[in-house]
Each structure stands twice: as structure tokens, then as C-alpha cells.
Structure 1
Amino acid sequence: MKTTVIRDGIEPTIVLVNGFLSELETDVSDWLEIIDILYPKNRVEHCRWNSGSFKTIGKKVVIENLAKLLLLPQAKISLLHSTYAICKEIITAWSKALEVATETGIHLAKYINQQNRSFVLFGHSLGAKVIYSALDCLERQQSVSKAFLFGGAIANNEPWTDIYLKHPELMIFNHFSEQDEVLKRLYKLATTFSHEPVGLKGIENSQLSLIYNIDLSHVVTGHSDYKNHKIGKILFERNKLASKYNLGSSLVGRKWSYSALALSTLVSSLTGFLRR
């Protein structure tokens, strides 16, 4: 794991964690479209980890097929075989990344424990598992105030109660979409259909007072549709609405959908107009 400072600023420090196959990615401008709306003046750090990369998978597939060509010069590698080889490498890389994500979370927790700063964590896809592992291992109390999960590739039946008992003042905002085909198909295939990911259906037993399940199915139609200005604006308006009407406690542990947000915002606007 390696943390890189994207910009300096006030506390809390924002830590960004990308997901599967993001190992070589250094550009976090997509994240900043959200961060610049929610935390425009805060210090931002990028947590890079060994999550694998498309480049590595591509090389393995090419080398494997090339070896077969050399052994059997007359044979032709079919499209079906190539597709199978790619899927096989992706699933293998995924299994490895699952283990590394847990280890990375442990390292992230150690990093936070050693600092004198406060933090807010943002994780996408398998980055959500990194954050879960970090929260589970975190020792310094009140060092992390909030965790934002987007399209989380982590089981929805993990023992979130343990996180709550360790950090009762922490808030977790879990953003999910039932239209996420990557989690709906590839994730389930890679995990042998053993459970649902939090990025597809929300977190189970979410009546715990630290968890906000936020349904973005109306606006997020794919696994990579979370990190943009539009989502940043939605989250900003949601937070403003919750603060204005003191809805914080009533939103905890419930599915707070974008449609509900839009309706509430409309009612608020009409009420303000009629009072003029």
C-alpha cells in the first residue's frame, strides 16, 4: 500500500481507495468531481494498492496463447478460447485481490493509527473491502468520522455490528445500485453466488445507527457511474436536506433513494416559493 498526497488542505483528510484492477491508476480526477463538492478545502490522499491491472492480465493471456501457438503451429485459437482465457485470468486475479484488499485494509489502519489527524474514507468497488478491513483493525478512536462506499464489492452479511461496537460514532454511507451488472454477474460468478454485495442490495442488518443505505439505482446504471459531478451534487443536496429538516436519525439504517431525495427537494422548493 502507498498513499500519495493529491492536495493539501484542512482536516479531516480525505482518503480515496479505488477497486479491482486499479493498481496502475494514478489519476483521481473522477473522485475529485465528488470531493470538490463535498470537501472542497480538505486535504486529499490517494491510497494505491496491489489490486491488479488489465495490463497484467492481458500479458498473461497473450503469453499463454502464444505458447500454445508455438506448440501447435497449425492450430487456431478460437474467439471462445480467448474469451475463456481472459475470464479465467480475471477470476484468478479477483481471488488474489480479495486477499490483498484485506491486507491493505490492515496497513491502512496502521497508517491512520500513527497519524494525529482525522480522516474520511471513500472507497469504490473492492476499495470498499479495503475500508471495511481498515475499520475493523482501527485502534485510534474517533480517527475516522465517516466512510463512503460506492458500488461496494464486499459481502452484505459481513459482521458490521463489530464495526459499530468499535466505533459507535462512525457513520457509513453505503451507495448502491440494483442496475450494476458487474456486481450482478461478474461478482457473483467470482464468489460462486455465495452472497450479495453491498453495492447491489445494501447492507443487511442496517438498523445499526451508523449505517446509511442510499439507493442510487435511478441514476447509477453501471459499476463505473458513481464517481462524477452529478453524484456529487446529489450527495450534497441530500446532506443539505438532512441537515435542514434534522432528518439525520430518521435516515439512518434505511434505504434513502434518489427519487425520495428529488421529491423532498421539490416539496421544499415549492414550500419556499409559496411563502414568498
Structure 2
Amino acid sequence: MSTKDEDVKDLSSIINAEEICDLITLLTDITLLMRKQLSDIFEPPAIEQSSRNFLPLETVTAGHTKDDFSSKIRGDGEIKGKFKETKATFYPSENKLSTPKRQQLERDCFEFFDKWRQSVMSHVYTAIEVPGRVKEHQKDMKFSKRIPRIENSSETVIIKLDSRNFVANTTLSKLNPPISTSLSSLPQEKRVLIFHSVLLILLSLEKYMAPSRILLINLTSSLHLPLDILVKDEIKVAQSLLGAVEHISGTEETEKRGRENFISRRWKAGLAGVAGAAVIGITGGLAAPLVAGVIGTIMGGLGLGATAVAGLLGGLAQSSVLVGSLFGAYGARMTSRAIDSYAKEVQDFSFLPMKSSNGQEILQKDHRLRVTIGVSGWLTDKEDVINPWRALGQESEVFALRWELEALTNLGQSLESVAKSTAWKIAKKEIISRTIFSSLLLALWPISLLSLSKVVDNPFSICMSRADKAGTILADAIINKSQGERPVTLIGYSLGARLIYSCLMSLAERRAFGLIEGVVLMGAPIPSNAAVWLSLRSVVSGRLVNVFSTNDYILAFLYRTYSVQYGVAGLQSITGVNRVENIDVSEIVSGHLRYQLAVGSILEKIGWENIYLEVVAMEEKTLAILKEKENNEEQNRGEKIV
């Protein structure tokens, strides 16, 4: 099909009445599927009997006699009592999580989703000419009577890293199976135009919410289009909207220089400053109308004419203020000074824009429709705030969160001292012989190792406390739209994951749904029990990934004084909650300190979007060198690597 841009005035110029009906049905089915997936979160999954105990007694006692435990702990009877208590508290899913608090959370989730879904379909009807029979059909349709094919997408996914064939499109198909539709048989050019149109319709809501992007991911899958179509569209639309605002605002050189200087100063202040720059620096805070011709000309690459683009965008095509709000200006009023007022109890709290591949800072023209924030968990150098996140592609607007620089540096130095000590290397061998869980739950720590506790316990305790506070501050910033009306993805390791956990728990408590698109938690020092992860899952619209390693003896040791009866997410898979991905990275993460060097490798292997493979290759090379060095050191001491 070859449709000239100027001929495409609205969606009815692209598809006929029957295809419009099919599109409405497909969008309805996708939202039904999303609602079913939301419902699945609150349904306890089937748990095999063998997996119901957090630490099976036979596993914990492997290699030890009853007398061994009696002499080292407090007696066999007390051990059994400990396990009985653990089973009761660790698996609240056995009680179906049927508490009033859970029920209220479920009701609030559905209330938000149904309002969002109604708004989406209303804008679809407004943007395109929907046959009357379709509207009546939609009005009569009940969620409970029509459930699209899910293909086990509600089950917890456990992915092993024995395959290196993970790519974003493979993961797209696996986690978002296509819904059957006759539209998938249309020529690709026509399917792409349909997709373009739906993206613009969703933006006509004047916000790009996390569930809107999940809808688009499902639409991409159902139309049999590659994920790149969605990513490239997002970039094109972001650049076009901001380009149109800049074009309307004037082109005088003095004004241009003033804008650039203003934006440059704001960038240094972080994400909140960028929020102000998006509109104030471009329009002076005034609402300049975006002429349809300008929008259409700049967006010509989408294959839609000016009239079609303006019509599909609705009010967003009429106001620079709305465009600025989308990218983080009005509504939020989050200046850097305002973030400072939130962060009184945490030092160094700021968002640092990641540099592009050519070494230059992200400019205003490089804004994206999505925001990704990487959170480091300890530091040995100030550059460690940014370095772990260099593998994240610029298809999303990437920031590194700088927080508690001094405390995290002290912790990093302490962890390195312990990891390099002879006492730790000897103790590690003894821990391995017992299994990590027996040492954790039953406090079977070698005396030589306990002597090192004074080195790390205090720095870790300080950082745990401040991570919880910083997480609440991050939640405040997100709720107040420092990122604008754009979905946020959060990725963190170690105490960075703890910070994100605190943020998500705060969002859940305040019922701030639809803001978070995806989350990856690596080596997280947080509980693994179902009640906690149900709350986390409720505020994440897309993927929620728990990355763990059974080789993380340092994490087990650091977490030993906390509520270990609720499990440790960084050491095990999450059970009892649907739609949580568990990624076992024991093969590449030999210890807690490896996460900082393996972020890109892990993200690439789980099929995360838009990863710089050249950075991943460098990470893997570094990890291989370190592993070889460790093996040589062990061999020199005559010890065997287990």
C-alpha cells in the first residue's frame, strides 16, 4: 500500500470499516488481557509441596548431625521450632493473602485500571469513526465474559542463563503472546500506520502512562511487528513534539542562546531541573499553539498527514504547555530546589543524565517518551554512580541516581576489605560446605568471619536506613511528576535495589499506580515473602524482575541480623506471587561485588530493551579476567574452587 502523507487525513483513510471493527476488538482484547493479568497478581499460584518450606530441614542439615546443631545453636527442638515459625511467616500465600489490606489494594488497583481503560477507549472512539454496532457491542461486553488467550503469561517465569539467545523480540513474544486478529495479515505498511495512529491516540490522553506503553507492547506483538517499531516511533514523536514547540517559540539567536544556557544550567541540577527546562526554557512558560501544519511536517516520517496527526493527538497538538507537561514541567513544579527540600534526611540526592555514546551530555532534543533510572548500591569510586549504567541505550532517557555518596563509598571500601581478607576466603569455604541458607537462618557463621562484622555491619546498617529514606524521596519525586507524564523504569543492584523497594512500597501505600513501567532488582537485600512482592507487583505495569545468586555469601552475611525468616530476595526466587520473573545469575555472579560489573550482561541475557552490546562485551571480558585471577589465587593457595 502506498499512501501519500497528505492523503491520510484520519484513520478511516487507512483502514476500512471492517478493519476498524477489528482494531476496536483487538484493543478491547488487549485491555481485557491486561486486566486478567492484574487479577492474576492477587490470585495465589499453585505451589508444589516440595517448595513450600523456605529451608527444607533435610537441606539445612545436609552434612551435619543433630549433635552438630545442638552444640552450635541451642538444641534440636529449638531448630524445629524455628522452621515451624519460618514456614508460617514465609508463605502467607497459603492463606491466599486474604487480608482486608490486600483486598483494599486489589479494589484500588482495579479502580485505577478501569478508569484508564475507559479513558483510552473513549479517546479511540473520538479519534476514529467507529461504527455504531461496534460501540453497542463494547457497551454490552463484560470483562468476566470475554477473556483473551493468555498462554500461561500469568505464571511466574523462572529463567536460567544457560542460553545466550535472549533478545528483546524473543522476550516480547514470550511475555506478551500475540492475540489473534485478522489485522496481523494486513500488509506491513498498513499495520505500521495503524500502530502509529494508536500511539498518537494514547498520547492524546496528555500523558504517557505505564499501562499505555504495555498496551502498545501487546499491540506490537499482536500485529506481528518488531519491538523496534515502537521504540523508533517513541523517539520520533518525542523529537517531533519538542521540535514543534521550539519552532513555534521563535528562532532569534539571542533567544536560542538564552534557552541553551538555561537548559545547560538546569541539566547540571539533574532530572528535576530538566523538568523545568522542557517548557520554561523553550516557551517562557507561555502556551504557544502548535499549528497542525508544523506538527504534521515534522512528524511526516510516521506516514501520516498533518491533519491526521493533529486530529489523533487532540489537545496535545494545540498547546506547548501540555507538551512541556508531558516532558516534565507544569503540574509537577519539581525544581532542583524542591527536590532538595524533600531530601533533607539524605545527602547527595540528585539525578545525573547519562552521557551519550559520543561523550556529550543529553541535550533537550534528546528527550524521550520514557525515563530509566539506574541506582547503584555501593561505591568504590565516584564514577561508580554512572559506570554500571553505561549499557543502557539512549532509546529511553537514562539517569543515574546519586545518593549518599560518602556512606556508599565507605560501604564499598569495607566490602572490598572483607572480600580480599584471608579470614573471608577461609570462612567462605566453610560456609559452602554447609549451604548458604543453613548459615543464614541458623546463624552458623564461622568465628573467624564474625570477627569481620565490625568492619561491615555499621556501614551496611547506615546505608540500609538511608536507602529506605531515599526510596521514599524517589517516590515523592515520581508522584510529583519530576519525570513529567512519562513512564519510569527503575533498575538497581544491592542497596540500590533496596532503595527501589522502598520507593515501590511507598508508591503502593499511596496508591500511585500507572507510573512505573518496569523494575529490575539485582542482589536485593529485601524480603522475599509474598506479601511484600504483591505490593511491589501492584505498582509495576510491566516486567518485575528479581535477579539473585545462590553464591552471594556476602549478602547472606550482611543480612543475617535482619528479618531472615521472611527470606532474602537476592538469594532466592520469589514464590507465591504471579508475574514475577526470577533470574538465577549464579553462573556469572560469584559474589555480591560482581553485580556492579555485570549489570549490562544481566540485562542483555534477560532480554531487556535497548542494551549496548559493545558495553556488555567489555563487561564480560572484565568478569572473565577477574574470574581467572580468582582461580589462580585459589590454586596458589592449594584450594579448589567449588
Equivalent residue for 1:144? 516
Q: Select which of 170, 174, 187 maps to 2:559.
A: 187
Q: How far does residue 23 in structure 1 lie from its aligned partner after superposition?
A: 8.7
Q: Select which of 566, 570, 581 maps to 1:199.
A: 570
Q: Does 1:135 align with 2:504?
A: yes
Q: How far does residue 161 in structure 1 lie from its aligned partner after superposition?
A: 1.6
State the alpha-carbon separation in 2 of the partners of residues 222 and 18 from structure 1.
Answer: 16
Larger Rg: 2
State the alpha-carbon separation in 2 of the partners of residues 144 and 31 from structure 1.
Answer: 19
Counterpart secondary structure, 1:93: helix
State the alpha-carbon separation in 2 of the partners of residues 150 and 57 from structure 1.
Answer: 16
State the alpha-carbon separation in 2 of the partners of residues 58 and 131 from structure 1.
Answer: 23
CA displacement 1:2-24 (0-9 Å, x = unmatched): 222224342321101111x4396
Greater helix fraction, Structure 1 or Structure 2? 2
State the alpha-carbon separation in 2 of the partners of residues 96 and 15 from structure 1.
Answer: 23
Equivalent residue for 1:11? 369
Q: Does 1:2 align with 2:350?
A: yes
State the alpha-carbon separation in 2 of the partners of residues 6 and 96 from structure 1.
Answer: 27
Q: Select which of 354, 372, 383 maps to 1:26.
A: 383
The AA in structure 1 aligned to 2:588 is V
The AA in structure 2 aligned to 1:129 is R
Equivalent residue for 1:43? 397
The AA in structure 2 aligned to 1:14 is T
State the alpha-carbon separation in 1 of the partners of residues 397 and 566 from structure 2.
Answer: 36
Q: Select which of 518, 537, 550 maps to 1:164.
A: 537
| CA 1:152–1:58: 2 relative to 1, 3 Å | closer
Q: Which moved more, 1:45-54 or 1:126-135?
A: 45-54
**Do 1:126 and 1:152's aligned partners in 2 also have CA atoms closer than 8 Å?**
yes
Counterpart secondary structure, 2:559: helix
**Do 1:23 and 1:48's aligned partners in 2 also have CA atoms closer than 8 Å?**
no
Equivalent residue for 2:208? none
Q: Select which of 225, 245, 258 maps to 2:594.
A: 225
Q: How far does residue 58 in structure 1 lie from its aligned partner after superposition?
A: 7.5
State the alpha-carbon separation in 1 of the partners of residues 411 and 537 from structure 2.
Answer: 38
Counterpart secondary structure, 2:583: strand
Q: How far does residue 127 in structure 1 lie from its aligned partner after superposition?
A: 1.2
Equivalent residue for 1:255? none
Equivalent residue for 2:606? 235
State the alpha-carbon separation in 1 of the partners of residues 602 and 413 from structure 2.
Answer: 32
| 1:81-96 map, 5 Å | 84=451, 87-96=453-462
CA displacement 1:143-186 (0-9 Å, x = unmatched): 11000111111121262222334x26243111111111212333
**Do 1:57 and 1:90's aligned partners in 2 also have CA atoms closer than 8 Å?**
no
Counterpart secondary structure, 1:169: coil
CA displacement 1:91-150 (0-9 Å, x = unmatched): 122222222111111100111112222210001011111111111222543211000111
Q: Give the gaps of 5 or more residues in structure 2.
A: 1-348, 356-361, 415-446, 611-642
The AA in structure 1 aligned to 2:376 is N
Q: Give the gaps of 5 or more residues in structure 1.
A: 60-79, 241-276
The AA in structure 1 aligned to 2:354 is I
Q: Does 1:175 align with 2:533?
A: no
State the alpha-carbon separation in 1 of the partners of residues 403 and 487 from structure 2.
Answer: 21
| CA 1:22–1:57: 2 relative to 1, 3 Å | closer
Alignment size in residue pairs: 208
Q: How far does residue 196 in structure 1 lie from its aligned partner after superposition?
A: 2.9
State the alpha-carbon separation in 2 of the partners of residues 193 and 230 from structure 1.
Answer: 29
State the alpha-carbon separation in 1 of the partners of residues 604 and 540 from structure 2.
Answer: 28
Q: Does 1:102 align with 2:468?
A: yes
Q: How far does residue 225 in structure 1 lie from its aligned partner after superposition?
A: 2.7
**Do 2:537 and 2:544's aligned partners in 1 also have CA atoms closer than 8 Å?**
no
State the alpha-carbon separation in 2 of the partners of residues 221 and 231 from structure 1.
Answer: 13
Equivalent residue for 1:120? 489
State the alpha-carbon separation in 2 of the partners of residues 155 and 47 from structure 1.
Answer: 23
State the alpha-carbon separation in 1 of the partners of residues 459 and 515 from structure 2.
Answer: 32
State the alpha-carbon separation in 2 of the partners of residues 56 and 127 from structure 1.
Answer: 13
**Do 1:174 and 1:198's aligned partners in 2 also have CA atoms closer than 8 Å?**
yes
Counterpart secondary structure, 2:475: helix
State the alpha-carbon separation in 2 of the partners of residues 4 and 151 from structure 1.
Answer: 23
| CA 1:143–1:224: 2 relative to 1, 3 Å | same
CA displacement 1:172-228 (0-9 Å, x = unmatched): 11111111121233332x43754432111122423x23x111112222222233343
**Do 2:545 and 2:583's aligned partners in 1 also have CA atoms closer than 8 Å?**
yes
Counterpart secondary structure, 1:41: coil
**Do 1:126 and 1:153's aligned partners in 2 also have CA atoms closer than 8 Å?**
yes
Equivalent residue for 2:248? none
Instruction: Supply the RMSD in Å over aligned alpha carbons.
Output: 3.1
State the alpha-carbon separation in 1 of the partners of residues 563 and 488 from structure 2.
Answer: 35
